[in-house]
Every structure is written in structure tokens, then in C-alpha cells.
Structure 1
Amino acid sequence: MTRPEQQDASSSLIKGLSLLNLFSVTDFEISISEMARTSGIPKSTAHRLVTDLVEWGALERGRNGYRLGVRMFELGHLVPAQRTLREVALPYAHNLNEVTGLTCNLAVRDKHEIIYLEKISRRDLLVPHSRLGGRLPLHCTGLGKAILGFSDHDFVESVLSAPLTRLSPKTITDPTALRRELARVRETKVAYDVEESQPGLFCVAAPIFGMGNHLVGAISVTGATALSQAQRYASAVRMTAMAISRVLGSRPGRPA
């Protein structure tokens, strides 16, 4: 039987985590009043939770409120699967960046979004919509489509049955059209994003597999717009993904 004090501790933990979940790329610094209003947690409770989170290192005081603390950054780099993928892929990503002269991204899936694990940028090419630790929808990114193409059927259908957010005039929002594109991804092991997530940019991505040929993430390069340019880099991206997959324990053959 759960004791009242255990229930209180569990409730406080969930409330504290819900406060941390309020932070995003646009809301990177939030006042206690804003946290209370957005979360629905009483201001006095929010103040107590923030005090505990600051003491632990999950939050730190900023100029206009509170922001995520360095402890969160440290813990994020200890997540086993992501850490292994990033550590193995990093030298290959740097090489891909040098060979192509393009921004190189590494990502994994979290629900219906990708999370950027690494971004190696060109100084003269701004890719503002992607950032380390940032998120974007699966359906309108090359990385996301590379992942979707090799995800299980039920998950793909859950994505296609949900509203497909339009990020640009060229975002594919028709489930039938996206199914056709994912079939091409499975056939070629390359996915394209031609101005679908950001006007003026293309992305070429390929899936990465691990032990048992299970999908673990994707790698990409991003650059200028034209599809003909994007297709020039497909082989380099695909071969890089295959090299990373081999190191992670994947074996040639049909992915699991």
C-alpha cells in the first residue's frame, strides 16, 4: 500500500518534471508566474518546486526568470542509446561535413518528432530551423522521412493519421503522397526534404541501423535548394550512414 508521503513525493516529482517540460527553443527563460500560469500549478507550489530544482541544478536563475541548468545538459549526454550513436557517428559526421562542405545533422526519433543530437555547420550557410537538442516533425524533414521509411507499420500509420503540420508552402500534408515518398525511401535508403521544412534549403538524409539491424536514427546534409544538387550528395550520405551502422553492429541485409 502506498503511503501518503510517497504519494506526495510522486506528485511533487511529476509537477517538477512538468515545469521542466515548459522550456523550449522559444521559451528558454521563464518566470515563476509564467510557469504557474502555463502549468496550472499554484504559484506558491511552483516557487517551492523551482527552489528545489535550482538547488539540484536542473534550473538556474537568468536575467528575466529561470532557465535549464547545466545538470540537464550533463544528464542528456549520458542517455545510453543517444550517447553511443553520437559518439560513433561524430567522426563520420565531421568527415561528411568536410567532404560536402554542407551542414551535417544527426537525429533520433521521439514520438512524432526528430531530436537533433549533433549539428556541424558551415560558417557561410545558416540553417536556423535546426539546432542541437531542437525538434521538428518527422513528416517534413529529410531526417524524419529517413526514420519513418524504416519504422514499423503501426507507428507510420499513427503519424499519417494525425494532422500533418505545414511548415512551408512545400510541406507534404497529404498522407497518400507521403506514403508514396516513404516507399521510395525504403527502396533507395535516401530521403529528401526540398524546401519542406525551411524555404530555400534542401536536406538529404539516410537511416542508421544498430544491433539486429534495428533503426536507431538518421544522418543528413543540408544546403542550397535545387533537387538536382541534393541528389549529388545522396551517395555520400548513404555510404556514411552505412559505415556508422556497421560500427554499431548492423549487418548487410534487410533492416529489422
Structure 2
Amino acid sequence: MSEASTAKMGAIGGRDVLEGAFALLEALAHGNEMGLTRLASAAGLPKATAYRLLNQLVAEGAVQRRGGRYQIGPRVFRLGQTWQPAQLLRSASARPLRQLTAASERGGFSLAVSDRGHTMLIGGIGREIDEIFPLRPGVLLPPGTAAEQVLAFGQPNPTPPDGFSAREWRRHVTTSRDADLAYDTDMSRFRLACVAAPVHGPGGEIVAALAATVAEVRRIPAVAEAVKRAAGSASTNLTKLLRSHRALTL
């Protein structure tokens, strides 16, 4: 085998193969179907390498391929549903989210957590919002959302997301923390606005953000206090569930 071939094999072997596969899955985690060229670019991989890894992921059920386009497969979804923190948070938030949905004619409601610098949805009820942006588990939110502001409340020096200076982001987070509510009314990106409130764990730590998303910014004030109350109910439910879970495991 030539030195060039050996180097090429090393570049796609072992840990690098796993990193490449996860980069592809991360790119697909935004919830949209993608073609090979765009997907390879998003994952930072050569097109041939991406194609080879995608074939393996399709064979394992981690990725689905339809007409030359790719999306997250059922196996990844099934494995993700077993993540215990998400299960407990979804259970704690289920009733508050249903009540919000019943009281609102339009809009979507969601639950998000931090994941290695990203803001990831673990639950959502989209209604007409899904037509603009999918509120589905596993979807990564764009930078600077109300949910991301909430999840930064407990950080002494929150890292600014793309598009924000450190000073600007600190100002957003401080203002939102003082109100115990965060807002994102920038309609230029997705024609959507959102408001979010923190869900707390038993020790008072912020573990998730519960948010309402609407297609009309004028509707934000009407749902803001309802979102805060729902997040408070979810926090209370979570504490009860965790205590019950711990009692059962003793």
C-alpha cells in the first residue's frame, strides 16, 4: 500500500470515523432534509467521505435516504427517547404545555436544554409554527433565541452566540434574568417571535427553558405571563418526579 493510501486510511479511521458520523448527524439534527453536497459542507467533510459514512448510517437505520436527500432515522430517534433527563422534563412539562396550547388559538410551545454550546429542543407542540420552523425533539435552535438567553441565566460570563458581541449578549441575559422572562422579537430570520421562562430543578438550578413561539410579535405580551406560570408548574412537577424517582431507586 502506498504512503498516500495509508495516510488516507488513517484520516478516516478510528476516532475520525466517529467524529465524521456525528458531524453528519449534528448537521441533520436541525430537522431539515439535506442533499449530499450541502450535508458534506455542513459537516466539514469531503463529499466522498460523507457519502461513504452516510451509506453506513443508512444501513444502521441512523439516517434515512429518500430521493437523494437525507434526514435523521428512526434508530437515532428511538435511542434519544431513552435519555432520562429528557423523559423527566417532558413528563413534568406535559400538562403545562397542554394547558398553554388549549388556551392559545395559535402559536407553538416548546421545551429546550443546553447541549454543548447549542440549544436543543426535547419537546414541542408546533401547530402552524411547524410550517415555518419545526418544533420537534432533537432540533437545534438558531443562536440568540429567548430559550438560549434563559439557559444562560446561571452563567457568570455567558458565551455570546453568533451575531452577538459579548457586551450585547450580557445585556440581553441580564435584562431577561431580572424579569425572569426572555424575549426574541427579531422577525427577520424566521418571521417568528418567542418568549421563554426558566424551568428549575430541585436545587433552584435552571435545567430547561419553556417557550412560546408566535408568528405575530404583537401576541408576545399576551402569552408571556402564561409561559412564566407554565414554567413554574413544570418546575414544581419536576421536583416531585425527581423525589419520587429517587425514592423508588433507594
Q: Assess if the C-alpha contact under 8 Å between 1:29 and 1:62 holds in 2.
A: no
2:149 to 145, 154, 158: 145
Post-superposition offset of 1:100: 2.9
Aligned to 1:98: 102
Post-superposition offset of 1:119: 2.5
Q: Deviation per CA, 1:51-101: give whole Å up to 9, x if none.
A: 432332112332115433210111121222122212221221111111133
Q: Please report the TM-score for the alignment, with normalisation by the length of structure 2.
A: 0.74
3-state secondary structure, aligned to 2:135: coil
Post-superposition offset of 1:241: 0.5
Q: Assess if the C-alpha contact under 8 Å between 1:112 and 1:138 holds in 2.
A: no
Q: Deviation per CA, 1:135-174: give whole Å up to 9, x if none.
A: 23442x22222222x23213x1x22xx6x42xxxxxxx45
The verdict on how the C-alpha distance between 1:197 and 1:116 changes in structure 2, with shifts beyond 3 A counting, is: farther
Whole-Å separation in 2 of the counterparts to 1:37 and 1:116: 20
Q: Please report the TM-score for the alignment, with normalisation by the length of structure 1.
A: 0.72
Query: Does 1:75 find its partner at 2:79?
Result: yes
1:14 to 10, 19, 37: 19
Aligned to 1:117: 122
Whole-Å separation in 2 of the counterparts to 1:219 and 1:113: 16
AA of the residue aligned to 1:225: V
Whole-Å separation in 2 of the counterparts to 1:89 and 1:105: 9
CA RMSD of aligned residues (A): 3.4
Q: Deviation per CA, 1:210-239: give whole Å up to 9, x if none.
A: 13222111112123222xx42333221111
Q: Assess if the C-alpha contact under 8 Å between 1:143 and 1:219 holds in 2.
A: yes
Unaligned runs of 5+ in 2: 1-11, 241-250
3-state secondary structure, aligned to 2:28: coil
Q: How does 1:82-231 map to 2 (within 5 A)?
A: 82-101=86-105, 102-123=107-128, 128-132=132-136, 133-139=138-144, 141-148=145-152, 150-154=153-157, 156=158, 158-159=159-160, 164-165=162-163, 173=164, 175-195=166-186, 198=189, 201-223=192-214, 224-226=216-218, 229-231=219-221
AA of the residue aligned to 1:28: E
Query: Does 1:249 find its partner at 2:222?
Result: no
AA of the residue aligned to 1:202: A
Aligned to 2:8: none
Whole-Å separation in 2 of the counterparts to 1:39 and 1:174: 25
Post-superposition offset of 1:46: 5.3
What number of residue pairs does the alignment pair up? 227
Post-superposition offset of 1:129: 3.4
Unaligned runs of 5+ in 1: 1-6, 166-172, 251-256
